[in-house]
């Protein structure tokens, strides 16, 4: 079992990576928008099989309904700066930036209200639809998200975020063929848009098409060789395909590009554990604990490694930490069982 388990569909698809802010790092609003009229003859999207000549679906003719949102927590990036007098925001841009900030604060009702007002202010501008779509994604409101991304794609078909976001929503609904079409379309319009490669590869991982996943992650790494997620994702693909040596190499590379992150040490530590290289596993899990003192999984696997090294007292100390947590019932039970075996001399 991988230390960092393959996540459920939506998390697996790097939703947090999709959650792009409305403002760039310099405080300026992102991008120009091309205005394109909605085709009144287009219908809502439906799931279809991938095949030659099949194109992603187009926008419906009616705006997204506004149901009362939920407030489920979601991992988000650093907050977008709130507009200040020194920033050159138009009223539309200020509304979108406000909606992004509110969503990052998990104030979803207010975020939707702000973004909806922006769509009414500039109804042919894709940006507010993209950002409102991502808010719907954050709440697992996938049909509403798809509708908004449909509008965004119609208004600006050159923006990969519309296809990428809609692909995430389709994948979350297990409409994988449509998701693959959308991620490929995002790559077609923006060949260096690395998030679409990640998402496409993760869909292939979910479908157990490991060779295709590895091929896609290769391209993502080529585009951005200093992004640790590329090595992590490809390492998982290698691991799931049974190639532990290549997985080990990728997790080592992940550590090299992100030495202060616990993630690479976690994954590599478990590879070492599975390869019965217990001293190396202990070293990596120790590093994880140094970086994340509350990481009970690291204590658990380090404890098991100590057992294999014959260091039972250290093993019991680590397993006690794992057994004390209330998050993972399986690890809690297994840790308690190992402690009981050690203390009974089994």
pLDDT per residue, tens digit, the chain (346 aa), is: 444 443 333 333 444 443 332 233 333 333 333 222 223 333 333 333 333 333 334 333 333 333 233 333 333 333 344 444 446 889 999 999 999 999 999 999 999 999 999 999 999 999 999 999 999 999 999 999 999 999 999 999 999 999 999 999 999 999 999 999 999 999 999 999 999 999 999 999 999 999 999 999 999 999 999 999 999 999 999 999 999 999 999 999 999 999 999 999 999 999 999 999 999 999 999 999 999 999 999 999 999 999 999 999 999 999 999 999 999 999 999 999 999 999 998 6
Angstrom distance (rounded) from CA 104 to CA 99: 9
**Rg of the chain (C-alpha set):** 23
Beta-bridge mates of residue 23? 29
Angstrom distance (rounded) from CA 170 to CA 180: 9
DSSP structural state of residue 4: S
Angstrom distance (rounded) from CA 235 to CA 250: 5
- Torsion (CA) 176, 182, 188, 192 in degrees, nearest 10: -80
For residue 287, the model assigns a pLDDT of 98
Angstrom distance (rounded) from CA 135 to CA 25: 20
For residue 39, the model assigns a pLDDT of 33
Residue 45 · residue 57 · CB < 8 Å: yes
For residue 53, the model assigns a pLDDT of 32
Domain residues of the chain, as ranges? 1-207
Angstrom distance (rounded) from CA 257 to CA 106: 31
**Spatial CB neighbours of 153, under 8 Å, sequence gap ≥ 6:** 56, 58, 59, 126, 159, 162, 163, 166
Closest to 38 (Cα-Cα) out of 208, 156, 158: 156
Measure Cα distances from 98 to 70, 107, 113, 139 in Å: 19, 11, 10, 18
Enter the CATH code of domain 1-207: 1.25.40.10
For residue 345, the model assigns a pLDDT of 83
Angstrom distance (rounded) from CA 141 to CA 129: 14
- Looking from the CA of 260 toward its CB, the CA atoms found within 13 Å total 0
Cα end-to-end distance, the chain, whole Å: 25
Closest to 71 (Cα-Cα) out of 102, 33, 109, 34: 109
Measure Cα distances from 305 to 57, 186, 286, 309, 346 in Å: 51, 44, 11, 6, 17
pTM of the shown model? 0.74
Long-range CB pairs of 305-313, under 8 A, 24+ apart, other chains included:
305/273, 305/278, 305/281, 306/278, 306/282, 307/338, 307/342, 308/276, 308/278, 309/278, 309/279, 309/282, 312/342
Residue 269 · residue 253 · CB < 8 Å: no
Closest to 212 (Cα-Cα) out of 233, 185, 189: 233
> What SS3 class is residue 125?
coil
């Amino acid at each position: 079992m991988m230390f960092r388990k393959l996540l459920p569909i939506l998390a697996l698809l790097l939703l947090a990576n999709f959650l792009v802010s409305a403002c760039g790092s310099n405080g300026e609003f992102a991008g120009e928008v091309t205005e394109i009229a909605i085709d009144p003859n287009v219908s809502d999207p439906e799931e279809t099989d991938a095949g030659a000549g099949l194109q992603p679906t187009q926008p419906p003719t009616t705006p997204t309904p506004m149901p009362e949102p939920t407030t489920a927590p979601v991992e988000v990036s650093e907050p977008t700066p709130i507009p200040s007098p020194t920033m050159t925001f138009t009223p539309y841009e200020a509304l979108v930036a406000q909606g992004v900030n509110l969503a990052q604060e998990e104030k979803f009702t207010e975020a939707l209200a702000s973004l909806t007002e922006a769509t009414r202010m500039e109804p042919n501008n894709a940006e507010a639809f993209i950002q409102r779509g991502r808010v719907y994604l954050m709440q697992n409101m996938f049909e509403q998200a798809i509708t908004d991304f449909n509008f965004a794609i119609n208004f600006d078909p050159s923006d990969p975020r519309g296809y990428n976001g809609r692909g995430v929503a389709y994948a979350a609904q297990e409409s994988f063929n449509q998701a693959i079409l959308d991620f490929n379309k995002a790559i077609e319009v923006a060949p260096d848009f690395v998030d679409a490669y990640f998402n496409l590869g993760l869909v292939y991982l979910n479908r157990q098409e490991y060779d295709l996943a590895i091929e896609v992650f290769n391209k993502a790494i080529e585009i951005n060789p200093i992004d640790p997620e590329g090595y992590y994702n490809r390492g998982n693909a290698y691991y799931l395909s049974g190639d532990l040596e290549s997985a080990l190499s990728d997790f080592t590379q992940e550590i090299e590009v992100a030495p202060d992150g616990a993630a690479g040490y976690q994954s590599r530590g478990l590879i070492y554990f599975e390869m019965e290289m217990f001293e190396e596993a202990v070293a990596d899990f120790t590093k994880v604990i140094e970086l994340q003192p509350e990481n009970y999984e690291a204590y658990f696997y380090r404890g098991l490694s100590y057992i294999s090294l014959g260091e039972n007292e250290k093993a019991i100390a680590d397993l006690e930490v794992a057994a004390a947590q209330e998050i993972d019932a399986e690890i809690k039970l297994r840790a308690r069982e190992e402690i009981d075996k050690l203390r009974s001399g089994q």
